[in-house]
Amino acid sequence: MKGAVAAGHPKTAEAAMRMYELGGNAFDAALAATAAACVVEPVLTSLGGGGFLLARRQGQSPVLYDFFVQTPRQRRAAAECDFYPVIADFGTAQQEFHIGAGAIATPGTVRGLVSTQRALGTLPLHEILAPAIEYASQGVEINALQAYIFGIVAPIYRATPAAAALYSGEALQGEGTLFHQPALASTLDWLANEGDAPFYLGELADRLVSLCQDHGGHLSHHDLANYRVIERPPLHCRYHGYDVATNPAPSSGGTLISFALTALQGQDLAQSGFGTARHLKTLG
């Protein structure tokens, strides 16, 4: 099996390449990378988040797997809700984020991993999650980029005693620190053996719902039990003779990409001054 991997962290890419070495396909690699990113890029993604997978199997039409987060069905009164602002300092600018139990939506990542592995993968789930489990258990060195991002959003990771206990000891100490996440390793191992049931119907669901009920969140057992991955036909547009498939509504990202490509359709990017376009023209 041959493949190429682009990722935001060397360990994320390594996890994907290990799937190829085991004889897995591109979907196995993508899912292993997603799980690994939840460990080594925790500011940017997590098992409590959501996402999308645009997949095309050989000889078949592409399919968009939507496992983004969903708004909880029932809303608590504002006076009961734990939802408050924190400031992330980027140096040249500051941005306000809102956090707290009231900011928790119905997570989709775990069900998305399990569902797409069943639909598209060739390797068993425990093989796909093995690199992530290893990284969480053995620890991963915080690199310069992760240290920088952790520094920006440090108020979020120090916002509760539990978060501070997990992150302040290692992750927020800066570049070169070895960051261990034994509880996350145990959770991933649990999912590797039992699939997504513990997260949406079992003990992990109970813990998440209890946290929200006790601390001003909206999430309920009904939200978790009824969460579904949605298969959508992609949004298509034409660009310089190519059919481009991207994320459809209700996500807005694919629509913006389609709009940009349509606007660029009549433009000669090689004349616009961008180095990449001139380089590609030279190679062509």
Residues 8-55 have pLDDT tens digits of 999 999 999 999 999 999 999 999 999 999 999 998 899 999 999 999
Q: DSSP for the chain?
A: -------SSHHHHHHHHHHHHTT--HHHHHHHHHHHHHHH-TTT--TTS-EEEEE--TTS--EEEEE--B--SS---GGG---EEEEEE-SS-EEEEEESGGGPPBP-HHHHHHHHHHHH-SS-HHHHHHHHHHHHHH-EE--HHHHHHHHHTHHHHTSSHHHHHHHTTTGGG-TT-EE--HHHHHHHHHHHHHTTHHHHTSHHHHHHHHHHHHTT----HHHHHT---EEEPPEEEEETTEEEEE--TT-SHHHHHHHHHHHHTT--GGGTT-HHHHHHHHH-
pLDDT tens string 110-162: 999 999 999 999 999 999 999 999 999 999 999 999 999 999 999 999 999 98
Query: Is the pLDDT score of 164 beyond 60?
Result: yes
pLDDT digits (tens, 9 = 90+) for 178-231: 999 999 999 999 999 999 999 999 999 999 999 999 999 999 999 999 999 999
More confident residue, 240 or 107: 107
Annotated domain spans of the chain: 10-232, 235-283
Is 70 exceeded by the pLDDT of residue 283? no
Q: Confidence band (pLDDT; 50, 70, 90) for 273?
A: low
2-6, 32-36, 69-73, 136-140, range with the lowest pLDDT: 2-6
Tokens of 136: 């969480």
Q: What is the pTM of this model?
A: 0.91
Is residue 1 over pLDDT 80? Answer: no
> Diameter of the chain by CA atoms?
62
pLDDT band at 284 (very low <50, low <70, confident <90, very high): very low
Q: With contact defined as beta carbons under 8 Å apart, do 41 and 65 qualify?
A: no
Residue 248 has pLDDT above 90, yes or no: yes
